[in-house]
């Protein structure tokens, strides 16, 4: 029975680590394009680490298992299973709260998915790793625009106010200003562009006068009713 313990060649090990790195690089590149804190290198490293943990868990103790000791217990998933919870601490570091807005949740989720892809690649489950990467990219790009379009169509057009701020300008002063004006903000969405920050607020009682007042604020570059 001990002789049946599987082993991996150097070539197969390299293939599994390379697939884990390549698939995670696709997700990391998307995060890099959107200028998120965790980008290409972070996602690749997370996936490689998860793949290596899986390889070590399944194949790293081959010599120990061939010692002939009958009491040795063998669980090839023991180390890899800890990656599922352990990577959550890394993802938490990507979440930032700024005023009433929270950023980094999607990036934290992509780090978690990258770890799962690394585990799948390390275990040799290539089809699962490739399909998970494809579905993740679909969720980050096409699904984002489809979902945003559906939400915008369901909301009354006059309730959405889009305020353009300078890049890296905090959104908290703007939200505090709305509160001082007695305007009720039901929802806030912050989008980053290369040269500006766009804050989309959903107002319960919009007015043209409020639009004019917002436009006069020193830290506001532009304002418009959203669609």
Scanning the chain, the segments in alpha helix (DSSP H) are 10-33, 40-59, 62-65, 78-92, 105-122, 126-140, 142-154, 172-180, 208-215
pLDDT digits (tens, 9 = 90+) for 95-141: 776 555 567 888 889 999 999 999 999 999 999 999 999 999 999 88
- Which CATH architecture does the domain made up of 157-225 adopt? 2-Layer Sandwich (3.30)
In angstroms, the first-to-last Cα distance of the chain is: 67
pLDDT digits (tens, 9 = 90+) for 171-211: 888 888 888 887 777 788 888 777 788 888 887 766 667 77
How confident is the model over 149-163, as a mean pLDDT?
A: 66
For the chain, the structural domain boundaries read 2-140, 157-225
- The answer on pLDDT for 158 being more than 60 is no
CA distance linking residue 159 with residue 200, whole number of Å: 10
């Amino acid at each position: 029975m001990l002789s049946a313990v599987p082993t991996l060649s150097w070539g197969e090990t390299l293939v599994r680590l390379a697939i884990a790195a390549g698939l995670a690089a696709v997700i990391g590149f998307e995060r890099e394009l959107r200028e998120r804190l965790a980008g290409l290198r972070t996602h690749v490293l997370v996936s490689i680490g998860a793949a290596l943990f899986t390889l070590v868990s399944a194949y790293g103790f081959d010599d120990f298992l061939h010692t002939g000791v009958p009491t040795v217990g063998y669980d090839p998933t023991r180390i890899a299973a800890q990656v599922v919870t352990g990577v959550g601490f890394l993802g938490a570091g990507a979440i930032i709260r700024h005023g009433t807005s929270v950023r980094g949740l999607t990036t934290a989720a992509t780090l978690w998915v990258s770890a799962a892809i690394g585990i799948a690649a390390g275990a040799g489950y290539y089809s699962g790793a490739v399909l998970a990467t494809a579905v993740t990219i679909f969720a980050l790009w096409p699904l984002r625009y489809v979902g945003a379009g559906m939400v915008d169509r369901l909301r009354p057009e006059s309730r959405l106010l889009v305020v353009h701020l300078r890049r890296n300008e905090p959104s908290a002063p703007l939200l505090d200003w709305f509160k001082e004006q007695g305007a009720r903000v039901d929802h806030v969405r912050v989008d980053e562009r290369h040269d500006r920050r766009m804050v989309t607020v959903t107002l319960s009682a919009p007015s043209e006068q409020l639009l004019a007042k917002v436009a006069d604020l020193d830290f506001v570059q532009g304002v418009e009713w959203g669609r």
